Amino acid sequence: MMIRRAASQRRWNTGGRFQVKYEKDPNIPVPMMHCVALRVKDLDRSMRFWQDVFGLEVLHYVKVVSLNFSIAYLGPRVRLRYEPVRGKSIVNLRKDTSRDAAPQPGTMDAHDYLFHNHTTVLKLIELHHLRYDHKYKISSGNESPHLGFGGVGFLVDNVDSVCRDLHLNKVEILAEPTQNDASLLIQDLNGYAVRVTQREGGLYGPQNQKLPITFHTCRLRIRDPVHSLFFYQKLFDMHLLCVSKHPTLPITRYYLCTRSQLSIDQPSLAPYPPPESPEAAILLNSLKISFLELQHHHGTETQEDFSYHSGNTPPVGFAHVSFMVEDVDETIKTMLDAGVYIIKNKGEGAFPQSAYIMDPDGYWVEIYVRCMRDFVITEGTSAERDTARG
């Protein structure tokens, strides 16, 4: 049976001594690209792949038996702590770099940990009925005639070290780093493309400051950059940080990030360099925030019947990109005024506080309020059920 608990009914998991205070954290930038969702055949194997190969951690886990799917959220661990406020029976979320206090995945505390995370995370979705269907192949988005999603990218401090680790883990490397391209390309267990790029130092980089692996890009192929850029820049307040033209192929890539995240990561750099400048390319590969990478193959904008595969019709693959917003209802109103197609309004999906809209190329975009309070636990372990009950 699915259990949904109102925020006022939830209890802090410390023997009932504290009541959790669920408030919007003013320090979390919105709109914010919060996660990139990919469907996988075997969630357990996929989680182990990302943990063993890239050192990502499972931040949260949700199993929705009634709807036949499970979700895992993975990413570099952001250090947070739950801090009781003196003189009051509440618990507040505070940043803490002194110690690691991430809660157990699948619990109420893990939910709050995830939705107070300032970084973009990877969301893996397993459809239970496909796990043992050996004939069904997840669509990576990179095979014709189902081209669409291009893959994900990560920034690391030392790409050569990652390359050696991949060889040790017997992961096939499709493209190794070169003098002209300090990045490598692999595929995960489901065939999704994963590019790992050397983090830039010097002008904008960490300057000898060791940083964890950073979720860098989510690549989507687009038909017409005019429409797609308008959609993400105007409706999600995204900034076009960099434009990269392929040296030999008729391909242009547009890298966008939300202005709110950019202002937090590099507030002193505004005004930012022109998108097509070398400085913009250096800045792109040095920031800790994540980017939406829109890849345009020249000429598709003139083909009226041309379209890309969204990943949400068979064969399924890429699911959606998710944004935190200040107010879902107001955002939906803005989308309707702009003529955007609403796939699922708030209250119509598995998570009642989420809504789904469609971008100009048919990709799904999930939107939910920052620090989302909704939580679902279904037929989990006794510990999970006890956490839900308080």
The residues, any chain, with a CB within 8 Å of residue 334's CB and separated by 6 or more, are 235
Residue 366 bears catalytic tag: yes
CB 370 within 8 A of CB 24: yes
CB 187 within 8 A of CB 193: yes
Question: Tokens standing for 246?
Answer: 């392929």
CB 127 within 8 A of CB 39: yes
CB 351 within 8 A of CB 374: yes
Q: Are strands 173-175 and 19-20 parallel, antiparallel or unpaired?
A: unpaired
Catalytic residue among 57, 200, 293, 366: 366
Rounded to whole angstroms, the Cα distance separating 192 from 167 reads 18
Quick one: three-class SS letters along the chain? CEECCCHHHCCCCCCCCCEECCCCCCCCCCCEEEEEEEEECCHHHHHHHHHHHHCCEEEEEEEEHHHCEEEEEEECCCCEEEEECCCCCEEEEEECCCCCCCCCCCCHHHHHHHHCCCCCEEEEEEEHHHCCCCCCCCCCCCCCCCCCEEEEEEEECCHHHHHHHHHHCCCCEEECCCCCCCEEEEECCCCCEEEEEECCCCCCCCCCCCCCCEEEEEEEEECCHHHHHHHHHHHCCEEEEEEEECCCCCEEEEEEEEHHHHHHHCHHHCCCCCCCCHHHHHHHCCCCCCEEEEEEECCHHHCCCCCCCCCCCCCCCEEEEEEEECCHHHHHHHHHHCCCCEEECCCCCCCCCEEEEECCCCCEEEEEECCCCCCCEECCCHHHHHHHHC
Find where tokens 């992961």 sit.
Answer: 171
What are the catalytic residues? 366
